[in-house]
Structure 1
Amino acid sequence: FPQMVTMLILILLPAAFLLPPGIIGGKKVKPHSRPYMAYLSIRREGRNVHCGGFLVAKNFVLTAAHCNGDKITVYLGAHNIKQQEQSQQKISVCRRIPHPQYNRKTHNNDIMLLQLGRKAKLNKQVRLIRLPPAHRRVRPGTVCSVAGWGRTSALRKRRPSVLREVDLKVMDDETCLNYPGGIYHRLGCGGHNISSSVACFVSQGDSGGPLVCGKTAQGVVSWGPVNGRPPRVYVRVSTFIPWIRRTMRRLQS
């Protein structure tokens, strides 16, 4: 892979607050309508943090590399993360495999595979999500969405107990490449918030969650500019399909 890989940039409505990746605004998700979603409980240097992720094989979850930690526990089949739902499957991670070229400073290659200690039991509440063909881009105008358990308000530290979602529309590359900033000429891009009732933007709590277009996971929630303004950046999953497939085959064998 080249040192600077392709990413998706989603330009959302302007916001006055700086927050790490997550969901602000949006709406509640119909319970278990996104059965591929994973909630990650992470122990890192004595602190508890959390991220999102998504199930791509019975024993593999895809997430962001910056969601790594000393110990990770995955919850599948969850809707309300503050309740012990019968649908939930709690599985420890036995291997954490961040991309070998992940750069903490630039966030390049911000993608990671988690191998679960046991296979998930697939049912109505727990299912896999489809991955895109290698190197195939999303067409401009495509309506996509992102979901997670992150903050619902920029002014509050409390996180919601239930999964929330927001819709986005992919824009053409030319529009995004005109955005100020020297790095953006080297990135793929697209997206505008299509919600007319609320200014939704990425905030704390949902790093590693999927950007879903149709029924396919096209992106991984990664990062946003330090000034809190658009665009927001998502790792383009199709760029990493060869690495994902190769890594899962090697560990399965």
Structure 2
Amino acid sequence: MQPLLLLLVFVLLPGAKAGKIIGGQEARPHSYPYMAFLQVEGPEGRSSCGGFLVREDFVMTAGHCWGSAINVTLGAHNIEKQERTQQQITVLRAIRHPRYNEKNALNDIMLLQLRNRIKKNRFVRPVALPNAGEKPKPGALCTVTGWGWISLNRWSDKLQEVQLRVQSDQKCTRRFPSYCSRTQICVGDPKQKKAAFQGDSGGPLVCNNVAQSIVSYGDKENGTTPEVFTRIASYLSWIKRTMKCFKRQDQTEQSWSSSCD
């Protein structure tokens, strides 16, 4: 793999400002086999996001990570090296939620259908999704992983991890006018200098081995919390319907139909 120019993606709401992962550490190599590194070709050039494998042929990420072409690397620890554990796959379809709103980041979720199914092994395998109605309680300690920035002038080529606590909805409602407790989760203790930010967009918040939410956006202050994550349980019906529909569509070689919308 050639060295990558990382123009790291993070949704910026009015007054928001790009930041970094703070208070984290390098993850043990391949301890998060569901993690995906995304290279995105967009209107402003190449950028990158995080994502996570949810089925052998689908990766989940944030809606604002959309691009005209996306390449996925799975099984990576150091994304600057060609590791034997890596599987690189192009995206056949980027399916953003039909009600995604780029102005306020509501419904910030996207499914990436891979051109080929991955080879599942101890380095690459899906993460579990939550049950319908499930939401981690305030105080729950969860983990975010990504290849985002680790200081103001240095990004990480090795996977980083940080533990963050879920907060009450009220803490995000006071800071973010568009925060929606039904479809979003408030994450990060303001008293701790720990945060997921630029370059970690689209990565999962994992609580007890279940991916509960997706890194979406943060405050205008660098590295401050709480931050807003997309709640996966709110979209389970859309997720299941979309993956089933496109699998059926490919098997029958049909063109796009409204049933997949």
Q: Normalising by structure 1, what TM-score?
A: 0.84
Give per-residue Cα distances to partners, 1:127-179, cap 9 Å, x unaligned. 110000122111222110101000000x20x32110001101223345554x3
| CA apart distance, 1:101 | 0.4
Contact kept, 8 Å, 2:141 with 2:163, in 1: the verdict is yes
Within 5 Å, give how 1:30-109 maps onto structure 2.
30-45=28-43, 47-109=45-107
Identity among equivalent pairs (%): 44
> For residues 226 and 164 of structure 1, do their structure 2 counterparts lie closer, same or farther at Cα, with a shift above 3 Å needed?
same
Contact kept, 8 Å, 1:81 with 1:162, in 2: the verdict is yes
Where do 5+ consecutive residues of structure 2 fail to align? 1-15, 249-261
The one of 21, 24, 28 equivalent to 1:23 is: 21
What's the secondary structure of 1:87's corresponding residue? coil
Q: Normalising by structure 2, what TM-score?
A: 0.82
Distance 1:71 1:181 in 2: 31
The one of 205, 209, 215 equivalent to 1:211 is: 205
Contact kept, 8 Å, 1:167 with 1:194, in 2: the verdict is no
Which residue does 2:5 correspond to in 1? none
What's the secondary structure of 1:133's corresponding residue? coil
Which residue does 1:164 correspond to in 2? 160
Distance 2:158 2:191 in 1: 20
Distance 2:227 2:81 in 1: 31
Which residue does 1:115 correspond to in 2? 113
Which structure ranks higher in relative contact order (CA pairs < 8 Å, sequence separation ≥ 6)?
Answer: 1
Where do 5+ consecutive residues of structure 1 fail to align? 1-16
Kindly provide the amino acid, as one letter, of the partner of residue 208 in structure 2.
G
What's the secondary structure of 1:75's corresponding residue? strand
> For residues 176 and 233 of structure 1, do their structure 2 counterparts lie closer, same or farther at Cα, with a shift above 3 Å needed?
closer
Contact kept, 8 Å, 2:187 with 2:225, in 1: the verdict is no
Which residue does 2:242 correspond to in 1? 247
> For residues 89 and 238 of structure 1, do their structure 2 counterparts lie closer, same or farther at Cα, with a shift above 3 Å needed?
same
> For residues 48 and 183 of structure 1, do their structure 2 counterparts lie closer, same or farther at Cα, with a shift above 3 Å needed?
closer
